[in-house]
Structures are given as C-alpha cells and as structure tokens.
Amino acid sequence: MRITSGWASGADRKQSPNIDKGHRSRECIVLHYTAGYTAASAIATFASPAGKSSAHFVVETDGRVTQMVNCNDTAWHAGGSVFRGGGQVNRRSIGIEIVNPGYHFRSTTGQILNWERKPIPASRLAPFPGMIEARDPWVGSATALWPLYPEAQLAAVEAIIRACIAAYPSIAEVVGHRDVDTVRRLKVDPGPAFPMPRMRRILGDRQDPADAGGVVLVVDSPTTPLNIRGGPGTSFDKLDRGPLRHGLEVVELEVRGDWIKVRVGDGNSAFEGWCFGEYLRPKG
C-alpha cells in the first residue's frame, strides 16, 4: 500500500461527508474498534451526515480496507481527546477504525451477551478467532470477553500504518483511542484483545529506504515530462537536469506529504531531486 495525494492504493473508496477540509499536522495514528460486527455498518454510519463521525480508514475482518476520508483532510474520530498535552486531536491525526464488536459477557447459562447484555447468536462472532477473558475497570468488575482480531485484519492495519508513516514522516506515535480519550474517559477501544505493541513497533522499523536498496518507481506522465525540483514543493527551483521522461525508472529516497525525493541514474552521473508523487508509480 502506498499513499499518493492522500489516497491509499489498494483500498476501496467511499467519501464521508463528515470531514473538515485540510489537516493541521499528522502527529499520531489513532486506532479504534468499530463496536460493530461488520464493516458495512461502520461505513454506513460514516457515509451518513447523521452519523456525525468518520475515520480515514475502515478495516474489515478479512483485511479489506475502505478509505472514507482523504489523509489530507480531517476525519471526525477522536473528538475531545488529548495527545501530548494538546487538543484538536482530529486535526493532528489519522484515524483507523477496525471492525470488532468489543466486549461481551457470558451469562450464567453460558450464553454470549453483547455490551447491552442482550444474547447474540454465535454466528455473529464467527469472523473472530476466539475471545480472550479480561477484566477492565472501564467495563466494570465482571470478567468480559473480548473478540480477537483476525490476522488478515491485523496485517491490513499494519500495511496502513506503514503507508502512513512513509507518506507523513511527522507521525511520531501510534495510539489507541483509549490512550487519548483521557479527559472524557468514554472510550476503551481498541481494547485488550488488540496487539498495540505490535503496531507501535512499526514506527521503530522506519528506515531510510536508500539503505534498503530503495524502492524503484517509474515516471508515469505520458503527456508532459515530469519536473524534478530542489525541494518538496513547487516553490523550489526545477533542476537543470530534468525534466524526467515518461517511463524512466528512479529510486525513492524519501516521502514528504505528496512529494517524493528520488535518485535518478547511478554512479557518477546520478542526481537527486523532488517530484510530485502523483506521477510516480511503483515498478511492476
């Protein structure tokens, strides 16, 4: 997965009306569970103005990803939260909603009850690979059952996080909704069944792509050659050694927002500069 102009490759798109245009900064990724059993119910809520909420991404149990808000716009997923002492977390974050119904209980007769303590058929929990038992003061003194997250879904969340931190190097932390809802204390998601350490570790893996041999990109600009500039934006001068012809292969060095720093050629004749990412696609 790769984010270009705020949209992720490999994700379905369904625009939510519940957004603020633009984004102040991208400092963290906030992970949520949907408190529902299917992506369809979450997508319907976020697609409706009456839902008054949204997230950049919704991840189904089978790993299918739907993007509902461009990463360059603000989604409504963490209102009233606090991150690193500051508010306006929506304007400072990317929100990922992961389909999971959250806590359940077991009745004295062995029935599974939902959070409202109403019995639910076992078939609704079929997509989830079992449940863990955990007490959480947020839920009360009873032991609650927390559905586990399927591996395909976790792999998809990882892919989104990797794509986001590649596109937005300003992202400094991956947090759960609970971690930032510290004033209202209304949220427990994504809950104890979610492997937060696994997601947090991804930030530690961030490396200079040039060290790893580099991702090869192909210039995809059939009508006009692609300008290459001294910095990430149109305010930087075009390099004399550009523009780059359609079909040329370059190596990705760094991503900053919509701009990608590339190396062109190799050996003594190689040079580096910045191109608008819309016109570069991964090779193959």
CB of 32 to Zn ion, least distance (A): 3
| Only segment of 136-144, 152-160, 183-191, 223-231 that touches Zn ion (CB under 5 A) | 183-191
CB of 212 to Zn ion, least distance (A): 34
How many residues contact Zn ion, by CB under 5 A?
A: 3
CB 94 within 8 A of CB 173: no
CB of 133 to Zn ion, least distance (A): 22
Q: Which one of 189, 252, 258, 272 is in contact with Zn ion (CB under 5 A)?
A: 189
Verify binding: residue 56, Zn ion, rule CB under 5 A. no
**What is the C-alpha to C-alpha distance for residues 275 and 233, in angstroms, rounded to an integer?**
8
CB of 187 to Zn ion, least distance (A): 5
Exposed, middle or buried, 152 (CB in 10 Å: 0-12/13-18/19+)?
A: middle
Q: Which one of 104, 177, 229, 261 is in contact with Zn ion (CB under 5 A)?
A: 177
**What is the C-alpha to C-alpha distance for residues 143 and 109, in angstroms, rounded to an integer?**
15
Verify binding: residue 104, Zn ion, rule CB under 5 A. no
Local structure of residue 161 (DSSP, 8 states): H
Neighbours of 252 (CB within 10 A): 21
Strands in 28-33's sheet, in edge-to-edge order, are 12-13, 65-67, 57-59, 93-98, 28-33, 173-176
- Token match 């949204």: residue? 54
CB 24 within 8 A of CB 89: no
| Only segment of 30-38, 222-230, 249-257, 259-267 that touches Zn ion (CB under 5 A) | 30-38
Q: Which residues contact 116 (CB under 8 A, 6 or more apart)?
A: none
Nearer to Zn ion, 32 or 56 (CB): 32
Tell me how far CA of residue 191 lies from CA of 36, 48, 99, 102, 173, in angstroms.
13, 26, 12, 7, 18
CB of 190 to Zn ion, least distance (A): 8
| Only segment of 21-29, 36-44, 142-150, 188-196 that touches Zn ion (CB under 5 A) | 188-196
Local structure of residue 149 (DSSP, 8 states): P
Verify binding: residue 26, Zn ion, rule CB under 5 A. no
Verify binding: residue 178, Zn ion, rule CB under 5 A. no
Residue 138 tokens read as 């947020």
| Only segment of 27-35, 164-172, 191-199, 219-227 that touches Zn ion (CB under 5 A) | 27-35
Nearer to Zn ion, 58 or 228 (CB): 58
| Only segment of 56-64, 113-121, 182-190, 271-279 that touches Zn ion (CB under 5 A) | 182-190
CB of 233 to Zn ion, least distance (A): 34
Angle, CA of 198, 203 and 207, to the nearest 5°: 125
Nearer to Zn ion, 2 or 32 (CB): 32
CB 229 within 8 A of CB 244: no
The site for Zn ion (CB under 5 A) is made up of: 32, 177, 189
